[in-house]
Every structure is written in structure tokens, then in C-alpha cells.
């Protein structure tokens, strides 16, 4: 594939913006994935290449939140293997079944996430320690594994779903965003491994975007840590609504 310098420049600029937003509340794929398809990559290669770039981006964000004490490795460490396996299976399944079958369900779930967050105005403002029963603990693990599968299989809105479940568990927005980055990194890495095995990744675009995304991820993470939970809530609602509009447009008009 011929590389056009202007197209690559625009792609890298969009990658920076995507990683900045993604570091705060997720939703960066709303920008980076269409950008990759706009430069001529087929959908499967665009998804795979986006996983490479996002693995680098989410890894950077995770480390920034980790240094700030907003990633609870002791509590979430046992969940990571379930997300990893779920995403691995999702990435493999995408070659067997069209991801389009999940679009209606994904839209409904995003609407519910946005509506619940808007109407529950004090939600995620403070950390609320909750003792989970065995049944609830297993239910949350199942939910995280399912989101991991979804990320490997399709992807849009994954960060919003991770944050939403973490808020339900009692985390505030900053802690939810930090822990969600560890989950996103895990699911991205698993999907990337599968796509590498299947030979779907465009390395020049993926590594170029990933390099630029490091800086966007650092700035976005620091912005989130500085602005706190109130600003995080507003940006979370805005990005979730944009995800709804973008994917509704794709579903009904394409």
C-alpha cells in the first residue's frame, strides 16, 4: 500500500486526539478506527491495527494512573485473566461471525449507560467501599469477561462499559477510569496477539499511531487527574452520547 504523507499526518493528528480523550473516559476508537478506514485499510485490518495503537496508548494511560495510585492492582488483578481470555476468544470469533450482529445490543447498552449516569447525578463522586457477595462477585467477573469478548470482537464503547461496571462496584470516576485502563490494556493486548497470529496488523500505521498516542495518553491522563470526578462525569456522558450517535448513524444509514 502506498503511504501518502498528508494522509499519514492527518491520521497521526487524529490518533493524538483519540488517545487524549480515550485516556480520560474512553471512546477514542470513535476517532481512530474511522481514521484508519479513511486511509484505505479494510475493516478487519483497521480493527487489528487500531488494537496495536490502542495497546500502546492504554498501556501508557494505565502507567500514569498507576503512578497516581488510581489503579487497584490487588483488587482487579484476579479479573484480568478473564478479560484476557474473553478478548482472545472475541478476536478469533470475528473471523467466523460478522460483528454487525452486536450493533443493536451495543446501542441499547450505551443508551442505558448514558441515561443512568445522567439521572444519577451523585454517582461516582466518591469511593464507596462495598462488600460483594459471592454471587455478585461472580456476576461482575462474568460481566468483565463479556466486555473483554466484546472488545476483541467489535470494540466501540468498551471503555464506557468497563467504567460503568466499576462505578456500580463503588469506585469513583477517577478510580474507575484508572482501573478501566488496566482492563482496556489487557483486552487490547489479547486481541492484538490473536490479530498478529492471523496476520491482520498494518505495522507502519499501528506503530506510528502508537508513538503519537503515548503523548496524547499522558496528557489526557494528567488532565483527568487534575480535573477530578466532576469533569470526568461530564466528559463521560458526552463521549457516551457521541458513541451512541456515531454508531446509530452507521447502523441505520449504512
pLDDT of residue 207: 96
pLDDT of residue 3: 66
Residue 166's CB is within 10 A of a number of other CB atoms, namely 24
pLDDT of residue 64: 93
Q: How far is 202 from 35, CA to CA, in rounded Å?
A: 14
pLDDT of residue 42: 84
Q: How far is 113 from 156, CA to CA, in rounded Å?
A: 14
pLDDT of residue 254: 66
The phi and psi torsions of 81 (rounded to 5 degrees) equal: -60, -35
pLDDT of residue 107: 77
DSSP 102-130: GHHHHHHHHHHHHHHHHH-TTTTSS----
- Note the maximum CA span of the chain: 56
pLDDT of residue 79: 94
| pTM summary value | 0.86
pLDDT of residue 125: 61
- Which has the closest alpha carbon to 244: 161, 156, 159? 156
Q: How far is 151 from 156, CA to CA, in rounded Å?
A: 7
Judged on CB neighbours under 10 Å (0-12, 13-18, 19+), 49 is: buried
pLDDT of residue 208: 95
pLDDT of residue 140: 93
Chunked in runs of 10, what are the mean pLDDT values of the chain (254 residues)? 78 93 83 86 86 94 93 90 95 78 75 76 63 85 95 83 89 89 95 92 94 95 84 79 82 74
Amino acid at each position: 500500500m502506498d503511504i501518502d504523507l498528508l494522509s499519514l499526518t492527518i491520521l497521526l493528528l487524529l490518533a493524538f486526539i483519540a488517545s487524549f480523550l480515550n485516556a480520560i473516559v474512553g471512546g477514542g476508537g470513535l476517532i481512530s478506527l474511522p481514521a484508519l478506514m479513511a486511509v484505505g485499510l479494510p475493516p478487519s485490518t483497521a480493527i487489528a491495527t487500531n488494537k496495536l495503537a490502542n495497546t500502546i496508548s492504554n498501556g501508557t494511560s494505565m502507567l500514569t494512573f498507576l503512578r497516581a495510585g488510581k489503579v487497584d492492582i490487588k483488587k482487579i488483578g484476579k479479573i484480568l485473566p478473564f478479560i484476557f481470555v474473553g478478548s482472545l476468544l472475541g478476536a478469533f470469533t470475528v473471523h467466523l461471525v460478522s460483528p454487525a450482529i452486536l450493533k443493536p445490543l451495543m446501542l441499547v447498552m450505551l443508551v442505558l449507560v448514558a441515561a443512568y449516569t445522567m439521572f444519577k447525578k451523585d454517582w461516582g463522586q466518591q469511593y464507596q467501599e462495598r462488600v460483594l457477595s459471592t454471587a455478585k462477585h461472580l456476576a461482575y467477573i462474568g460481566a468483565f469477561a463479556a466486555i473483554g469478548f466484546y472488545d476483541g470482537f467489535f470494540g466501540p464503547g468498551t471503555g464506557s462499559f468497563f467504567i460503568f461496571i466499576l462505578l456500580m462496584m463503588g469506585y469513583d470516576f477517577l478510580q474507575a477510569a484508572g482501573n478501566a485502563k488496566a482492563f482496556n490494556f489487557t483486552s487490547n493486548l489479547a486481541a492484538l496477539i490473536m490479530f498478529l497470529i492471523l496476520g491482520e496488523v498494518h505495522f507502519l500505521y499501528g506503530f506510528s499511531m502508537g508513538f503519537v498516542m503515548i503523548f496524547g495518553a499522558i496528557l489526557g491522563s494528567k488532565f483527568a487527574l487534575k480535573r477530578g470526578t466532576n469533569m470526568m462525569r461530564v466528559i463521560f456522558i458526552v463521549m457516551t452520547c457521541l458513541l451512541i450517535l456515531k454508531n446509530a448513524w452507521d447502523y441505520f444509514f449504512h
